[in-house]
Structures are given as C-alpha cells and as structure tokens.
Amino acid sequence: MRVCSTGNPFVRGNVPYTEGSAKSNLIFNTGVTFALHSPGSMAKLKGRKKPSAVLGNKFFDYRVALQSELSYKGDKFEPRIFVISKFRIFLLNGKSPSSLKIDKSFHILNVKSLSALKDDEVSALVEEAGHKKRYVIKSPQATALALIKHILGAFLRYFPDIGNAHYSSTSVSGPQLRSTIELTPEHLYDDFSTMNEDVAAKACHSFRRTYAALCDYYDQPYREEVSWASLLDVEKIYAVNRVRWLRIDDFSHLLPKDLIPITGVLQYSSYFTGLVADGIRMTSEVIDVIMAVIRKSRHLQVLQLRNCALPR
C-alpha cells in the first residue's frame, strides 16, 4: 500500500490506496474552496468528483494532477488541469470540479518529444491519429523540468528497462530511451537513469505492468484471465526458473489479438532475450508487432518461428 501525498489543491493528500484495486477514495478536490484561472476573472469554486467519473474506471487513481495552462500555438494559453493517470496523460477542462471533462488524452508512448522552453513551459510533440501535434504546457505548481520528470516517472513504472540501469547489466538501455522519446535538455537522459521507482517492481522486470500499458496502447482489452492466469505463469514459472525466452505457445488458448500486447512487451524488456513460436498461426497484426520487437529490442538474441503460416 502506498500513500499519495501532494500539496496541490486538486489532489486529496495522504490518502492510501492499493495498486490494482478496483476502487479508490482519491477525489479531485476535497470539497475545500479552491481557485481556477479563467479569462478575465478568478472563480472560486466548490465541489468534489472521483477520478473514475472523469477519466473512466480504468483510470481510477492518478499520479499527478496540476493546475496548468495549455497553448496549441505557443501564444494564447487556456486553463486546463494536467493529469497523469497510470500510463496516460489527460488534459481536463471545466469551470468546476463537478464539470470536469477530458479535452485531450494520449498514451505516454505517443509523446515523441519533451522540451523545457522556459523555466515554467514545456513543449510536447504528440502523435495523434498518424499526425504529430505540438502543445505548450505550463503550470504554476511545477517547473518545466519537474513536469517532464513527472511524465518520465510514468515511463519508469511501466517501461523500466528502456533507460534504467537498475535492470540492465549493460549500458545499452540509454539509447532505447533516446529512440523512444526526444528530451531537451540533454541531461534528462542521465537523470532518468538515476530515478527510483515509487513502487516495488513486479516479476520479470514488471512484465504485468508493461502488458497493461500496451493493452491500452494497442487498443486491446485488458483481460483479467490473462493477468491472473497466463501472466502469473510468466511471473512464477518464468521468473523462478529464470526462463528468458518467451514462448507464444504458452498463450495459444487466447485470441490472436490478445497476443499483440503480450508479444509487444519484448520491445521494451531486457528480461526476455528470446521469442519462440511453434505451430501458432500468426495474424498480420502479430507479425507487425514481432517486426517492431526486432527493430526496437536491444536484448533480443533468439527468434524462432516454426510452422506459423508466415506470408512469403
């Protein structure tokens, strides 16, 4: 159990929650009067609203919630609430906590670059529907570097191997972070390698967390039976026996689309050094993910695909 404590007015401080629980007592605002900036006036508002009512049941808890301002072109700023919940960033709009709605939402893997423009301004390049859009975000509650590190903290929890020396026995994890997201100033890459996770790691380099994040990224359902059955096999059998080759055959009872996020984990994991499949009919989507693993993984040493009806 972890205690979330923060000084900003949108987060209830010192509220315990258990990771993975279906419910949370965390709420936006505690009912205490707070202020939101609005064009031409300062409105004092009261209210309370559970995060799940705004973000959806999947995002019942959140890591960061900050009063902020958003600009699409770098000149005119509009008031927003900047939220990081699990592996997604939300920009919320509303005149009161009870009227908050999602203005923008994107997966952290869709963030292609983060740059500190000024002490309090961050430029974010985000890939949306095949196009890249740039946003400028600033917050009176966090410096530009602090805001960037909040986002990097989400990367660390769900993709710990891409730049974290804790799991890597070599120095090759840094370049993968560079190929995943462009950071300015340059020292942020070194800062990431020394950051500490705020929760205990799961087995196989937090395989389960990376799987959950990729279910959202690939727009595939997160299946409890996968988590509590197949993934527990991964965490217990694979970890205890130090098995480093992921066998897709172990998941042959699942639907083909369920293999997409499971296989995709190898793009970002240094735990698995091999990918093996025998007698599994591969869909084009799974093949695309395997090709991405080949391109992105710096730890894959073995790839064996037998009798998989691969296209010529």
Q: Which domains does the chain have, with CATH numbers?
A: 52-194 (2.30.29.30), 204-306 (no CATH)
Alpha carbons 50 and 30: distance in angstroms, whole number: 10
What local confidence, expressed as pLDDT, does residue 52 receive? 65
Strands 64-71, 78-85: pairing is antiparallel
**271 — phi, psi (to 5°)?**
-70, -45
pLDDT value at residue 290? 95
On whether the CB atoms of residues 297 and 273 are closer than 8 A, the answer is no
pLDDT at residue 251 above 90? no
> The whole model's pTM is what?
0.78
> 271, 245 in Cβ contact below 8 A?
no
**33 within 8 A of 96, measured Cβ to Cβ:** no
Give per-residue pLDDT as tens, 253-310.
888 899 999 999 999 988 889 999 998 888 899 999 999 999 988 889 999 998 887 7
User: In the chain, what percentage of residues exceed pLDDT 90?
Assistant: 42
Predicted confidence at residue 39, as pLDDT, reads 35
Instruction: Give the pLDDT band of residue 229 (cuts 50, 70, 90).
Output: low
pLDDT over 90 at 116, yes or no: yes
Give the per-residue pLDDT at 17: 25
Compute the average pLDDT of residues 4-20: 32
pLDDT band at 243 (very low <50, low <70, confident <90, very high): confident
Q: Tell me the CB-side half-sphere exposure of residue 61, using CA atoms within 13 A.
A: 18
Average pLDDT over residues 153-164: 86
Q: Which range is most confident: 5-19, 95-109, 130-144, 230-244?
A: 130-144
pLDDT tens-digit map of 44-79 = 333 445 666 666 666 656 678 899 999 987 679 999
Q: Flag whether pLDDT at 10 surpasses 50.
A: no
Phi and psi, residue 158, nearest 5°: -100, -20
